[in-house]
Amino acid sequence: MGAGNLLPSALVDLLIEVDNDQIILVRRSGAQSNWALPGGYIETDEPLIQAATREAFNDTGLEVCPKGRLGSYTFLRLDQSALGLSTAIIANAERGTTTAWNYGQNEVRSFALSELPILAPAHQPIIEDYLAFRQQGIKPTQIGVIQTAISGEKRQAA
């Protein structure tokens, strides 16, 4: 089945800020060993902000206060088996612990922006946009097209 025949999935990815210069990342069990942004699928008829707060809590155990939208990103695996549209939300951590709550998270922890680990390939462009926003106040103006596969990544402007 070609990508043109796929119905896109709606996702939300979260940049959860703690302190002035740290964000929360998760490393999921059974997935690539890279760290990733918390987030997941938006349920049918679920508002974006509700999905963001639900996914933050499910993935990290944290209650968050969404501050705004960083950008939107389309994801297409190189084997064209999955297509998704993700909205990246910036949020403040409000209450909770960084202990994993459920959905098989192995580790949840905060990282200084200056010491971020290697990230899941699909999340790297989101982090790059976030760092540009934090450093220069520049928000992305285009939707990024990101093709990912286990072996690599390709990014194009839409």
C-alpha distance from residue 80 to each of 3, 6, 123, 125 (Å): 6, 9, 18, 19
* CATH class, 3-157 region: alpha beta
Q: What is the pLDDT along the chain (158 residues), one digit of tens a residue?
A: 444 555 678 899 999 998 778 999 988 776 557 889 999 899 989 999 999 999 998 888 889 999 989 988 887 655 566 677 889 999 999 876 654 444 455 688 889 999 999 888 888 889 999 999 988 877 765 434 444 433 344 444 33
Phi, psi of 36 (to 5 degrees): -145, 165
User: pTM of the entire structure?
Assistant: 0.78
